Amino acid sequence: MIAELECVVLDCPDPRELAAFYASLLGGEVDRPDRRWECDADWSTLHTPGGRVLAFQRVAGHRPPRWADQDPPQQFHLDFGVSDQERAHQEVLERGASLLDAGDGGRSWRVYADPAGHPFCLVRH
């Protein structure tokens, strides 16, 4: 092993706002003290209950990806497992997400965008 994954970092215009959005979806603690980094107006973190860390970095002139267009490309997305897809759908929309692709009735996932425009999927278990 060469390295250990510390966190996944998402570029955005408002780090604290995006950290709060993901905390409302996943639970966890926003900007918990951590020796690995300092949180400020340009950097925010979310320590999730499962131990994973998402970080959010302010980028001037942030251009969100556009689903499913590749200009600018999505580069990556996050998948979240849910047991009740309809309930999760309503809750993410109430928290500021937008639906990008509802798919068809037989598909197990739907694609959304977070408030900064990053795509993520709710995948039915």
Question: Quick one: pLDDT at residue 54?
Answer: 95
Give the pLDDT of the chain (125 residues) as one tens digit per residue.
Answer: 776 888 999 999 999 999 999 999 999 999 999 988 889 999 999 999 999 999 999 999 988 888 888 777 777 788 899 999 999 999 999 999 999 999 877 788 899 999 999 999 999 88
pLDDT of residue 39: 93
From the number of C-beta atoms within 10 Å of its C-beta (0-12, 13-18, 19+), residue 21 rates as: buried
Rounded to whole angstroms, the Cα distance separating 60 from 75 reads 18
Supply the pLDDT for residue 111. Answer: 92
CA 100 to chain centre: 14
CB burial readout 100-119, b (16+ within 10 A) else e = beeeeeeeebbbbbbbbbbb
According to DSSP, residue 44 is labeled E
Spatial separation of the C-alpha atoms in residues 61 and 36, rounded to whole Å: 27
The superfamily CATH assigns to domain 8-58 is 2,3-Dihydroxybiphenyl 1,2-Dioxygenase, domain 1 (3.10.180.10)
Q: Which residues pair with 58 in a beta bridge?
A: 12
The pLDDT score that the predictor gives to residue 42 is 95
Pick the CATH number of 78-124 from 3.40.50.300, 3.10.180.10, 3.40.50.1380, 3.40.50.720: 3.10.180.10
Tokens in use for 15?
């780090």
